[in-house]
Amino acid sequence: MKKEVCSAAFLKAVFAEFLATLIFVFFGLGSALKWPSAMPSVLQISLAFGLAIGTMAQALGPVSGGHMNPAITLALLVGNQISLLRAVFYLVAQLVGAIAGAAILYGLAPYNARGNLAVNALNNNTTAGQAVVAEMILTFQLALCVFSSTDSRRTSPVGSPALSIGLSVTLGHLVGIYFTGCSMNPARSFGPAVIMSRFSSAHWVFWVGPIVGAATAAIIYFYLLFPHSLSLSDRVAILKGTYEPDEDWEESQEERKKTMEAWLTSPDFSSRPCSTCVPKSPSSTPTQPRQPTGEHRATQLLQPSLSHQPWAPTSPGTVAPTTLWSGWGAAHFRREQVSLWAHFRAHLIPSAPLSPAH
């Protein structure tokens, strides 16, 4: 745990969460200012929040994951995707960033346009109970979109995660503004409330609703729909920030490629024919095999290992929704190892018979 906190990558990630939340809150709240010359529309506010979150997810997502939302961070903690310490630091950075973004906007906006700085409140006779359920549903669809679009286990095309998340935020605002001003993010509600000193009796709605909605999405996604094959000790290690994932897939592929290239250049290997270069003939009379080129032999050996690239964790203690191997991926990797070893035996061990087909 101490090792994780003291790493440069961790400190960069925490700062990225602070900066991303600051910019997101500044632009989001700024779109809702009540300028005398032009009052903001629901579509304008919705697009501004969606574009802000998508832009920051694209720009700073690779550094920290681009949470910018305490509800998303806590949901990933519930889903066993990040360590407890990282979640705490992210929460503090997000709340401080939201306060800073609201404070900058407060200082820049003219008095006659500032209004209440878009503080969330219950609108159109919405009760607290109705508001909580509305915030739960709005944040549930956002969290589900975040988990699905950033899950590296997916083999189907997912497009741009930043664009998907931005559209999800826009969708939530198009509906939620009429109920509560649309929070979906406790930091977004907390920042302007602190600067304006306007904590209404219903402020808890903007914490309970988003957190419960996002946590529900995490349970459904990570434990029911797409569970990870992890032991209890691995899950505890992730929470502690001491989880050491297996070797990164790309590094493993590179090492395997270098090893095979070294064998390809060895004299013993270059003198042996490849079974796939033997022309297929209906007669039982053996034919003289053709000597393949080095490039052909390399392609034959590398082909089984490049047929699929499973997902791999990015850093100790974190699981980018991200990143752990499932039982299927590990089994597929083991099958490739067995197939590759059989190919090595056929080509490198003189006493082993050549495989009839590969």
Q: pLDDT tens digits, residue range 47-87?
A: 999 999 999 999 999 999 999 999 999 999 999 999 999 99
> Rounded to an integer, what distance in angstroms lies between the CA atom of residue 116 and that of residue 121?
10
CB 150 within 8 A of CB 311: no
Helix axes 70-78 and 128-149, enclosed angle (nearest 10): 70
CB 282 within 8 A of CB 300: no
pTM of the shown model: 0.69
Q: Where residue 288 falls among pLDDT bands split at 50, 70, 90?
A: low
Q: Which amino acid is at 337?
A: Q
> Rounded to an integer, what distance in angstroms lies between the CA atom of residue 53 and that of residue 182?
14
> Rounded to an integer, what distance in angstroms lies between the CA atom of residue 352 and that of residue 358?
15
The predicted pLDDT at position 239 comes to 87
The predicted pLDDT at position 273 comes to 55
Q: Give the containing element (helix H, strand E) for 4.
A: helix 2-5
Say if residue 107's pLDDT is above 50: yes
Mean pLDDT is lowest, of 67-81, 130-144, 254-268, 342-356, for 342-356
Q: Give the containing element (helix H, strand E) for 246.
A: none
Q: Where residue 345 falls among pLDDT bands split at 50, 70, 90?
A: low
> Rounded to an integer, what distance in angstroms lies between the CA atom of residue 147 and that of residue 152?
10
Return phi, psi of residue 35, to 5°: -70, 135
> Rounded to an integer, what distance in angstroms lies between the CA atom of residue 91 and that of residue 18?
9
Number of Cβ atoms within 10 Å of the Cβ of 153: 16
Query: Residue 77 corresponds to which tokens in the numbers above?
Result: 């903690």
The predicted pLDDT at position 271 comes to 56
Q: Whose structure tokens read 């664009």?
A: 163
Say if residue 240's pLDDT is above 90: no
What's the mean pLDDT in 228-247?
80
Three-state DSSP state, 35: strand
**129: CB partners within 8 A, 6+ apart:** none
What's the mean pLDDT in 213-226?
96
